[in-house]
Amino acid sequence: MENVTLNVSGMTCGHCVSAVEGSVGKLDGVQEVKVHLDLGKVEVAFDQEKVNVDKIKAAIDDQGYDVK
């Protein structure tokens, strides 16, 4: 299991949290997603054999948020 913390801008409310956690959480291999709205960070625990950081970033980007 691997953990990554991503800096994400543009998240401002509970809907943003739901959108990010929902889209990333649906990826095969993602075990846990936690959005820290006040910090602009997203923590993800995932199986690197099933999903990679680029796919996680793409899922967040698809929801309209910028991953740095």
The answer for residues whose C-beta is within 8 angstroms of residue 45's C-beta and 6 or more apart is 1, 2, 3, 30, 31, 32, 33
Q: What is the pTM of this model?
A: 0.94
Assess whether pLDDT exceeds 90 at residue 54.
yes
Q: What is the largest CA-CA distance in the chain?
A: 32
* Domain ranges for the chain: 2-67
pLDDT digits (tens, 9 = 90+) for 5-42: 999 999 999 999 999 999 999 999 999 999 999 999 99
Assess whether pLDDT exceeds 90 at residue 68.
no
What is 2-67's CATH number?
A: 3.30.70.100
Cβ-contact 20, 11 below 8 angstroms: yes
